[in-house]
Amino acid sequence: MKSLILTLTLIGLLVGCTKETPIDPTEPTPPVDTATHIIELGKGGLLRNGVSWNAIYSARYYATDFSRFNILAKLTESGYLHTFSIGDIKTIPGIYHFERSFLWNDNNGIPEALYFVVLDGDQLFNSYNVDSTRTNQFIEILRYDSVEHIVEGRFQTFLEGPNSWSFLPDSMAITEGKFHLKIQ
């Protein structure tokens, strides 16, 4: 009888345990007004788990390939460098869905999103990768000027990562992302 009560108690505890995950927006993204810019030139912005994250944004072409570029957003918080990157983005306007990043697919023309937390420039504390079980993850290129090398767009992704640090979340919802950058 004791083992039955213990078993039922353990099952009750396990059923009651839940892991907090970001809420996936169920509504479609609103249409974009293409007559005006969504953010001023040289800027980017996003919500990280629902809170505004005001990082410094930059964009760079791939070494010899001007048909693809990547975006970096960096911000130092409490001595840790937080970096969000989107790589392998086509310059052609349209909507592109993210794939989970692996060593062998970082140069295949399908965008990947990653997030890193680093201390002292070389101590990786955590990394987050695209949660492939979620939907509604995209980067949309709204405009690309091949003469001025200016790109504008928006994005949204959900990231997960193994985490053993109490000051970092287990997962991240990157929403309402937007950028208007000159590609270097």
Indicate the residue type of 75: L
Reference 171, options 138, 126, 106; nearest CA is 126
Find out whether 158 and 35 touch, Cβ atoms under 8 Å.
no
Mean pLDDT within 101-109: 59
- Which range has the worst mean pLDDT, 23-27, 124-128, 175-179? 23-27
Residue with tokens 């695209």: 130
- 2 φ, ψ to 5°? -60, -40
pLDDT of residue 182: 97
Indicate the residue type of 152: E
Reference 106, options 130, 126, 122; nearest CA is 130
pLDDT digits (tens, 9 = 90+) for 166-183: 888 889 999 999 999 999
Length of the chain as a residue count? 184
Model pTM greater than 0.85? no
pLDDT of residue 35: 61
